[in-house]
Amino acid sequence: MVKKAKAMRQPRGERLPEVGGIIHLEHFNFEVDDHDMATIFFMNGLGLTRDPFRRPDETNMGVNIGMQQFHLPRRGRPTPPFNGEIGLVVPDLPMIKARLARLERMGKFDGTPYAYRELGAAAAVTSPFGVRLRLHPAGTISALRPLGIAYVDVFVEPGKAKPIADFYRRVMEAPAELGKVNRDVAAVVSMGAYQVVRFREKKLDDYDLHNFHIAYYVSRYNQIRDRVASQGSMLGQGQGQVFFFEELFDPDTDKVIIKFQQEPRSVYHPDFMRPLVNRWPIISEPYTDQADVMAGLADVPGLVPS
């Protein structure tokens, strides 16, 4: 007599979002024409840290953000326009507000597109290079750590979200869903634990993403590299466990959906989970600039410097 199999019990633990073929969004890259300004904004203003081990020379800059980075190459050309937005989780938004306000009072951002605007608990900041950031205090959105890149929003033509989601599901084996972001139809692509890239449909005059790119680590590197190479958009030979490509394409026809440069890396890449040096401004530093910041905190509601 064959015994009837018992029904499997469902585990009672917390069910977190699945992470698929893309396991970690590592950096967002854009060109800048002035590393002094980048230092003022990213380090003095946002309190981030220049990577001391990679890209430390005058031609490039790595800015550490928890386990992620900005890569800021300098080739003597101005930063092209980027219509999207990058979402950062930060540990101390009032401190950032005070630091940026001080730099603005000093005229450090004069003649640039810099802007700061409060959005409820978050803040919208346009960098001096015109790239928009949204700063979320730690604990207000899901994140592994109190400092990091949580999302990148990329604006695309209406009708593109569905085929983009299909590309990431079938070529990258990454979870990708159609949804709404601020009433925009969007392909929401998982690129790591609590990390997403959201391709939002919006009517614009120009969808050119220029030389901006994202880098991420994948679990099926050889498979993905071979598939992209067969489609024809791979750049270079893909040596060193990293390659670049510039076209998201229909997996059935190879027809281009959009052009947006990507940098997939394998887990054998030497930078995979490399420990990044991060600091955070200590509010009791006995230096003049920090004293000025602390004085500015008196203007932030609910925060009185000690």
In this predicted structure, the answer to whether residue 214 has a pLDDT above a threshold of 70 is: yes
pLDDT at 17: 82
Q: How far apart are CA 154 and CA 207, in angstroms?
A: 9
- For 157-171, the pLDDT digits (tens) are 999 999 999 999 999
Q: Could you tell me the pLDDT band of residue 227, with boundaries at 50, 70 and 90?
A: very high
Burial of 155 (0-12, 13-18, 19+ CB in 10 A): buried
- For 129-148, the pLDDT digits (tens) are 999 999 999 999 999 999 99
Question: Terminal CA-to-CA distance of the chain, rounded, Å?
Answer: 77
CB–CB of 108/40 below 8 Å?
A: yes
Measuring CA to CA, which residue among 149, 148, 151, 231 is closest to residue 187?
151
Measuring CA to CA, which residue among 38, 71, 67, 23 is closest to residue 214?
71
In this predicted structure, the answer to whether residue 281 has a pLDDT above a threshold of 90 is: no
Sequence letter at residue 184: D
Structure tokens at 293: 């910041």
Q: Could you tell me the pLDDT band of residue 292, with boundaries at 50, 70 and 90?
A: low
pLDDT at 297: 59
H or E segment at 152? strand 148-156
What mean pLDDT comes out for the span 194-212? 97
In this predicted structure, the answer to whether residue 98 has a pLDDT above a threshold of 90 is: yes
Burial of 145 (0-12, 13-18, 19+ CB in 10 A): middle
pLDDT at 304: 39
Measuring CA to CA, which residue among 88, 196, 184 is closest to residue 132?
88
H or E segment at 294? helix 288-296
Stretch among 1-5, 19-23, 101-105, 278-282 having the lowest mean pLDDT? 1-5
Q: How far apart are CA 208 and CA 218, in angstroms?
A: 26
Sequence letter at residue 72: L
- For 15-35, the pLDDT digits (tens) are 888 889 999 999 999 999 999
Sequence letter at residue 291: A
pLDDT at 221: 96
165 vs 240: which has the higher pLDDT: 165
In this predicted structure, the answer to whether residue 94 has a pLDDT above a threshold of 50 is: yes
CB–CB of 220/23 below 8 Å?
A: no
pLDDT at 302: 43
In this predicted structure, the answer to whether residue 287 has a pLDDT above a threshold of 80 is: no
Q: Could you tell me the pLDDT band of residue 305, with boundaries at 50, 70 and 90?
A: very low
Cα dihedral sign, 139-144-147-152: negative
Q: How far apart are CA 235 and CA 151, in angstroms?
A: 25
> Please, what are the domains in the chain?
22-299 (3.10.180.10)
- What percent of the chain has pLDDT above 70? 88
The neighbour count for residue 72, using CB atoms within 10 Å, is: 24
Mean pLDDT for the chain overall:
90
Structure tokens at 220: 């099926």
In this predicted structure, the answer to whether residue 215 has a pLDDT above a threshold of 80 is: yes
Q: Could you tell me the pLDDT band of residue 195, with boundaries at 50, 70 and 90?
A: very high
